[in-house]
């Protein structure tokens, strides 16, 4: 492709074509799937993005947009015959509109940097994935990321007001508005979680919130996962909506405590972390209500953190859980599924059974308040067959989520990791509708091809039974 490369270098100042340098980009956070891109383009301006995408459109060359490469589903994995479009140079916070509580930022700005930039104004950006120190806002939009505070304050889609998008033909357009609503179809919601298949984000207007007057963080241990799960269900059922409600099992607790030493009890089977915020009076009332619920379920080692340093310490253990597990296993596979909260104990106990069946340890750390599970399956890639077992175990966990009325993803996206399970969750008609929407935005299919939406041929090869007129979704799957 020497002619294409020459044209690419004409429209984009920074292009990588050397094979050794290209290998740096061969995977995202899903390191078990790799592909070396044909070229990497690193534009510095929106015009360069437009010209690069337009050139790829004219030549029918695949384009995969990439931010920090922290995706855990292979959503930013390159295409071997395509251009990886890195937005790493788009790191400016363009404007802070304090009066309207908005920040206009480029897609390469990290999640945490937004809150840091407005802290002196008494404001912050609510969604906070565990990878917030590294993950970028453009990727957050692509995957509709959440975080520990999504229970009360919502996912990325609930905290973005407007996007600037480069279409596959290079056109630039704006969706959403700076108001609470905009005319026409709700394309803003459609773009969130679209995994870079409908357009490339080049600017985001995010909503800012005033910092609460008062915040407390409560941790509580439980003798069983069942008791902790029932506590979560009762907290929500009684109308108490914490800012965050997280859960960790025994393995995750011990790994985190050994790693960061924040004072987690290690003699319990599960741990809840609950953050309450609001006015001082509101928080005190919520705390009384929470303590009553914890007493009802025989909570152990209850601890309340009121000052910022103590609160940060408790959260640091939760947010360090992923790297902590990495210290006790050669490799781990991070899953992402969502279930109704009432099914938490059932699914967690089933995961324990599956762990024993496959002979692979699983640490569970997740957003309990909204039922978003993150099982961490531990394996050793140096042991023949271990990776395949881990992937099969992960697929079984996702099928368990579906059986209990959940979904195969909560915030990590589908990417290439869960594309086969899409065949289980959606019918032929639904998948055809998804492909139709993709074709409206991207008629040549150049944006992130082969991700998120399986072809019907793939589903046929996978052997999935689709839903038709309310018939059984999973006739061949073992019940639990």
Do 316 and 218 belong together in one domain?
Answer: yes
The predicted pLDDT at position 353 comes to 97
Do 221 and 335 belong together in one domain?
Answer: no
471 located within any domain: no
Taking the alpha carbons of 102, 106, 111, 117 in that order, is the dihedral positive or negative?
negative
Q: How confident is the model at residue 472 (pLDDT cuts 50, 70, 90)?
A: very low
182 pLDDT above the threshold of 80: yes
Give the number of C-alpha atoms closer than 13 A to the C-alpha of residue 166, restricted to the C-beta side. 30
The predicted pLDDT at position 478 comes to 52
Do 320 and 353 belong together in one domain?
Answer: no
The predicted pLDDT at position 130 comes to 86
> For residue 27, what are the contacts with CB-CB under 8 A and spacing of at least 6?
33, 34, 35, 69, 74, 77
pLDDT mean over 271-298? 97
79 located within any domain: yes
Q: What is the mean pLDDT of the chain?
A: 94
Do 350 and 452 belong together in one domain?
Answer: yes
474 pLDDT above the threshold of 50: no
pLDDT mean over 459-469? 63
Domain end point (choices 210, 234, 267): 210
Q: Which of 419, 415, 412 is nearest to 366 (CA)?
A: 412
> For residue 340, what are the contacts with CB-CB under 8 A and spacing of at least 6?
371, 404, 405, 406
Q: Are strands 83-86 and 63-66 parallel, antiparallel or unpaired?
A: parallel
466 pLDDT above the threshold of 70: no
* Contact between residue 254 and residue 270 where contact means Cβ atoms under 8 Å apart: no
CATH of the domain at 399: 3.30.70.2740
467 located within any domain: no
477 located within any domain: no
The predicted pLDDT at position 388 comes to 96
Residue 263: C-alpha distances to residues 49, 127, 259 (Å): 48, 26, 11
pLDDT mean over 416-427? 96
* Contact between residue 64 and residue 80 where contact means Cβ atoms under 8 Å apart: no
Do 188 and 108 belong together in one domain?
Answer: yes
Residue with tokens 């390159």: 78
Q: How far apart are CA 233 and CA 226, in angstroms?
A: 11
479 located within any domain: no
Q: How confident is the model at residue 181 (pLDDT cuts 50, 70, 90)?
A: confident
Q: How confident is the model at residue 166 (pLDDT cuts 50, 70, 90)?
A: very high
* Contact between residue 136 and residue 110 where contact means Cβ atoms under 8 Å apart: yes
479 pLDDT above the threshold of 70: no
92 pLDDT above the threshold of 60: yes
Do 265 and 282 belong together in one domain?
Answer: yes
* Contact between residue 218 and residue 290 where contact means Cβ atoms under 8 Å apart: yes
* Residue-wise pLDDT tens digits, 376-398: 999 999 999 999 999 999 999 99
* Residue-wise pLDDT tens digits, 183-201: 889 999 999 999 999 999 9
Q: How far apart are CA 275 and CA 287, in angstroms?
A: 10
147 pLDDT above the threshold of 80: yes
Residue with tokens 């940097």: 113
* Residue-wise pLDDT tens digits, 314-353: 999 998 998 999 999 999 989 999 999 899 999 999 999 9
* Contact between residue 69 and residue 131 where contact means Cβ atoms under 8 Å apart: no
DSSP run (H or E) holding 174: strand 172-176
Q: How confident is the model at residue 468 (pLDDT cuts 50, 70, 90)?
A: very low
303 located within any domain: yes
Do 62 and 35 belong together in one domain?
Answer: yes
464 pLDDT above the threshold of 70: no
Domain end point (choices 86, 105, 133): 86
1 pLDDT above the threshold of 90: no
* Contact between residue 40 and residue 15 where contact means Cβ atoms under 8 Å apart: yes
Q: How confident is the model at residue 480 (pLDDT cuts 50, 70, 90)?
A: low
291 located within any domain: yes
**Three-state SS sequence of the chain:** CHHHHHHHHHHCCCEECCHHHHHHHCCCCCCCCCCCCCEEECCCCHHHHHHHHHHHHHHCCCEEEECCCCCCCCCCCCCCCCEEEECCCCCCEEEEECCCCEEEECCCCEHHHHHHHHHHHCEECCCCCCCCCCCEHHHHHHHCCCCCCHHHHCCHHHHEEEEEEECCCCCEEEEECCCCCCCCCCHHHHHCCCCCCCCEEEEEEEECEECCCEEEEEEEEECCHHHHHHHHHHHHHCCCCCCEEEEEEHHHHHHHHHHHCCCCCCCCCEEEEEEEEECHHHHHHHHHHHHHHHHHCCCEEEEEECCHHHHHHHHHHHHCHHHHHHCCCCEEEECCEECCHHHHHHHHHHHHHHHHHHCCCEEEEEEHHHCEECEEEEECCCCCCHHHHHHHHHHHHHHHHHHCCCECCCCCCCCCCCCCCHHHHCCHHHHHHHHHHHHHHCCCCCECCCCCCCCHHHHHHHCCCCCCCCCCCCCCCCCC
pLDDT mean over 276-290? 97
Residue with tokens 């935005």: 441
Q: Print the domain residue range for 98.
A: 93-210
Residue 362: C-alpha distances to residues 135, 167, 251, 326, 461 (Å): 25, 41, 8, 12, 29
19 pLDDT above the threshold of 60: yes
Q: Higher confidence at residue 121 or residue 31?
A: 121
> What string of DSSP letters covers 282-312?
HHHHHHHHHHHHHHHTT-EEEEEE-SHHHHH
Do 371 and 432 belong together in one domain?
Answer: yes
Q: How confident is the model at residue 275 (pLDDT cuts 50, 70, 90)?
A: very high
CATH of the domain at 7: 3.30.43.10
pLDDT mean over 213-222? 98
Q: How confident is the model at residue 112 (pLDDT cuts 50, 70, 90)?
A: very high
Do 231 and 307 belong together in one domain?
Answer: yes
Q: Which of 96, 97, 123, 129 is nearest to 110 (CA)?
A: 129
Q: How far apart are CA 397 and CA 407, in angstroms?
A: 11
Q: What percent of the chain has pLDDT over 70?
A: 96
Q: What is the pTM of this model?
A: 0.93
Do 106 and 54 belong together in one domain?
Answer: no
Domain end point (choices 24, 51, 86): 86
Q: How far apart are CA 77 and CA 226, in angstroms?
A: 38
472 located within any domain: no
Do 319 and 358 belong together in one domain?
Answer: no
CATH of the domain at 299: 3.30.70.2190
Do 109 and 196 belong together in one domain?
Answer: yes
* Contact between residue 270 and residue 226 where contact means Cβ atoms under 8 Å apart: no
As for how many domains the chain has, the answer is 4
pLDDT mean over 233-254? 96
pLDDT mean over 40-65? 98
């Amino acid at each position: 492709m020497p002619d294409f490369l020459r044209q690419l270098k004409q429209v984009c100042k920074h292009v990588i074509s050397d094979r050794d340098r290209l290998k740096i980009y061969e995977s995202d956070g899903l390191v078990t799937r790799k592909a070396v891109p044909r070229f990497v383009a690193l534009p510095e301006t929106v015009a360069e993005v437009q010209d690069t995408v337009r050139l790829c459109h004219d030549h029918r060359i695949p384009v995969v947009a990439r931010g920090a490469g922290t995706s855990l589903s292979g959503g930013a994995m390159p295409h071997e015959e395509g251009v990886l479009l890195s937005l790493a140079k788009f790191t400016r916070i363009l404007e802070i509109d304090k009066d309207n509580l908005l920040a206009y930022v480029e897609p390469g700005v990290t999640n945490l940097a937004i809150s840091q930039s407005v802290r002196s104004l008494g404001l912050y950006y609510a969604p906070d994935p565990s990878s917030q120190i590294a993950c970028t806002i453009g990727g957050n939009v692509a995957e509709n990321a959440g975080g520990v505070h999504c229970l009360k304050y919502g996912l990325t889609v609930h905290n973005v007001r407007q996007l600037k998008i480069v279409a596959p033909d290079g056109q630039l357009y704006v969706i959403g508005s700076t108001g609470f609503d905009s005319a026409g179809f709700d394309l803003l919601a459609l773009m969130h979680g679209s995994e870079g298949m409908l357009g490339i984000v080049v600017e985001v207007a995010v909503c800012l919130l005033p910092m609460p007057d008062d915040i407390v963080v409560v941790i509580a241990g439980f003798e069983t996962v069942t008791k902790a799960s029932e506590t979560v269900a009762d907290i929500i059922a009684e109308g108490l909506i914490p800012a965050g409600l997280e859960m960790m099992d025994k393995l995750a607790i011990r790994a985190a405590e050994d790693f960061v030493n924040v004072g987690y009890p290690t003699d319990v089977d599960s741990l809840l972390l609950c953050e309450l915020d609001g006015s001082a009076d509101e928080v005190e009332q919520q705390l009384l209500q929470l303590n009553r619920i914890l007493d009802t379920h025989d909570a152990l080692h209850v601890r309340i953190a009121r000052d910022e340093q103590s609160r940060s310490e408790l959260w640091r253990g939760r947010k360090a859980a992923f790297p902590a597990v990495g210290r006790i296993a050669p490799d781990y596979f991070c899953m992402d599924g969502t279930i109704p909260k009432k099914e938490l104990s059932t699914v967690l106990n089933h995961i324990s059974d599956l762990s024993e069946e496959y002979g692979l340890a699983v640490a569970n750390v997740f957003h309990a308040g909204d039922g978003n599970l993150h099982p961490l399956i531990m394996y050793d890639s140096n042991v023949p067959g271990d990776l395949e077992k881990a992937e099969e175990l992960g697929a079984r966990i996702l099928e368990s989520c579906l059986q209990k009325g959940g979904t195969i993803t909560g915030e990590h996206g589908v990417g290439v990791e869960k594309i086969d399970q899409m065949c289980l969750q959606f019918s032929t008609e639904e998948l055809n509708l998804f492909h139709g929407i993709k074709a409206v935005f991207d008629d040549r299919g150049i944006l992130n091809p082969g991700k998120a939406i399986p072809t019907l041929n793939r589903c046929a090869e996978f052997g999935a039974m689709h839903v038709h007129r309310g018939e059984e979704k999973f006739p061949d799957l073992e019940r639990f």
